[in-house]
């Protein structure tokens, strides 16, 4: 009898320990939408940040309960992620949580390509597409959050920088599952993304840009370009053309993957008091 009681007490203690560990993990995991700050002296440009590489992973021991409660709401972890795809708003979290333990048990590294999701089994890899600017990135989901009704994924600072979300705070995105088999078969996310872009371009026979301004001197054009980048606009570049024996320096944003993305960029520029804008096509 005593032996039976001791075993029951031991099992109860183990269960309690597991619950306490899970609660601690959830407590320090991602807090959605908190613009807690970017790391100091971060100098990487968005196109210098590589994707996460999908590899075979084992489910987190403590990060995948059948359900859990955060901020008074119960969430159920997905049992199947086959053909998973979701559209909504992305946010990011940075130096406030750097080094803290995530829901998967790993330490949060704001310089790594990771993210948090409320119900995906962790860890898992997903492709994130920023619908506002057309950028794509592969991230490893290893944390829980964001716990806001209107947000579906919380990005690390590096991932947010690559996708152009770090400057805007939030962005409209689509996320979908990625597996190591995608890479082995040659159908990686980057390849699939390229296929969609190529098809879009082929359908239009041109690449899309939003033209913001034109100058007769390179110096003025470069100064204007730098001001656009400083205001958080990405993929800003200079197109140099000769028109009637005169050199024209055109400041444009692109190439953009679709007409809708181009219209979104144009609207953002108009909201920032830029005028005489137009969507143009270049071979």
Whether residue 125 sits in one domain with residue 39: yes
User: Tens digit of pLDDT for each residue in 179-228?
Assistant: 887 754 444 444 443 333 333 333 334 678 899 999 988 888 888 888 88
Helix (H, G, I), strand (E, B) or coil at 54: coil
- The CA distance from 254 to 82, in Å, is 33
In a domain, 225, yes or no: yes
Whether residue 256 sits in one domain with residue 146: no
Q: DSSP per residue over 77-96, as a string?
A: --S--TT-EEEEEEEE--TT
Buried b (16+ CB within 10 A) or exposed e, 158-180: bbbbbbbbbbbebbebbbbbbee
Whether residue 233 sits in one domain with residue 157: no
Range of the domain at 180: 13-198
User: Tens digit of pLDDT for each residue in 221-254?
Assistant: 888 888 888 887 867 887 877 888 888 888 888 8
Chain Cα centroid distance, residue 173 = 8
Average pLDDT for the chain = 79
Residue 144 has pLDDT above 60, yes or no: yes
What CATH number is given to the structural domain containing 238?
3.30.70.1070
Residue 22 has pLDDT above 70, yes or no: no
Name which residue leads in pLDDT, 26 or 49.
Answer: 49
Whether residue 179 sits in one domain with residue 69: yes
Average the pLDDT over 142-168 and give the result.
90
The overall pTM is greater than 0.85: no
The β-bridge relationship of strands 136-143 and 171-178 is unpaired
Residue that terminates a domain, selected from 134, 163, 198: 198
| % pLDDT > 90, the chain | 34
Residue 107 has pLDDT above 50, yes or no: yes
Whether residue 254 sits in one domain with residue 180: no
pLDDT at 62: 84
Is residue 17 very low, low, confident or very high in pLDDT (cuts 50, 70, 90)?
Answer: low
- φ, ψ (nearest 5 deg) of residue 275: -125, 175
Round the CA-based radius of gyration of the chain to a whole number and report it: 23
In a domain, 247, yes or no: yes
DSSP-assigned letter for residue 48 = G
Edge-to-edge order in the sheet of strand 207-215: 236-243, 246-256, 207-215, 278-282
Tell me, letter by letter, the H, E, C secondary structure of 240-281. Answer: EEEECCEEEEEEEEEEECCHHHHHHHHHHHHHCCCCCCEEEE
Residue that terminates a domain, selected from 198, 221, 237: 198
């Amino acid at each position: 009898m005593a032996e039976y009681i001791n075993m029951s007490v031991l099992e109860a203690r183990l269960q309690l320990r597991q619950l306490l560990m899970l609660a601690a993990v959830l407590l320090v995991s991602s807090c959605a939408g908190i613009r807690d700050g970017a790391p100091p002296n971060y100098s990487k440009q968005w196109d210098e940040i590589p994707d996460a590489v999908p590899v075979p992973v084992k489910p987190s021991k403590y990060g995948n309960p059948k359900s859990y409660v955060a901020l008074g709401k119960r969430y159920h972890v997905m049992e199947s992620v086959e053909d998973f795809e979701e559209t909504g708003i992305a946010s990011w979290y940075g130096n406030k949580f750097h080094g803290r333990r995530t829901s998967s048990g790993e330490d949060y590294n704001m310089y790594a390509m990771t993210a948090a999701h409320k119900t995906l089994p962790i860890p898992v890899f997903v492709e994130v597409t920023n619908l506002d600017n057309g950028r794509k990135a592969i991230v490893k989901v290893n944390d829980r959050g964001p716990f806001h009704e209107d947000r579906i994924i919380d990005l690390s600072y590096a991932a947010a920088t690559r996708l152009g979300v770090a400057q805007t705070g939030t962005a409209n995105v689509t996320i979908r599952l990625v597996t190591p088999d995608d890479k082995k078969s040659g159908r990686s996310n980057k390849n699939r993304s390229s296929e969609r872009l190529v098809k879009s371009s082929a359908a239009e026979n041109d690449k899309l840009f939003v033209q913001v301004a034109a100058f007769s001197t390179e110096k003025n054009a470069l100064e204007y370009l730098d001001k656009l980048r400083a205001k958080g606009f990405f993929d800003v570049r200079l197109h140099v053309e000769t028109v009637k024996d005169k050199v024209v320096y055109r400041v444009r944003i692109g190439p953009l993957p679709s007409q809708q993305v181009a219209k979104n960029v144009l609207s953002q520029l108009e909201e920032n008091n830029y005028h005489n804008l137009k969507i143009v096509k270049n071979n």
